Amino acid sequence: MERRSYISSEIHCDGCANSIKRSLGKLPGVAEVGVDVEQKRVDVAFDETQTSEQAIRDRLAMAGFPVE
């Protein structure tokens, strides 16, 4: 299981956090998604044999939360 953290300045509220969790949760292999609104950070645990870091970055961008 791979764990990565991403920063997005577009995270502003709990609604953003819920949107991110729903969006990333649809990717195969994503086991856990945590969002820290205050720090604008997304923590993701995923199976690298089922999805890639680039797929996660792309999904975040499509959801309106591009990562830095």
For residue 3, the model assigns a pLDDT of 97
Q: Which two tokens stand for residue 49?
A: 């044999």
For residue 7, the model assigns a pLDDT of 98
Domain tally, the chain = 1
For residue 16, the model assigns a pLDDT of 97
Q: Which two tokens stand for residue 60?
A: 């975040």
Q: What is the mean pLDDT of each run of 10 residues along the chain (68 residues)?
A: 96 97 96 97 97 96 95
Which structural domain, as residue segments, surrounds residue 18?
2-62
- Structural domain contains residue 22: yes
Closest CA to 27 of 11, 9, 5, 44: 44
Query: What gap in Å lies between CA 35 and CA 41, rounded to an integer?
Result: 6
- Structural domain contains residue 16: yes
State whether residue 43 is helix, strand or coil: strand
User: What does pTM read for this prediction?
Assistant: 0.92
DSSP code, position 32: E
DSSP code, position 50: T
For residue 46, the model assigns a pLDDT of 97
For residue 20, the model assigns a pLDDT of 98
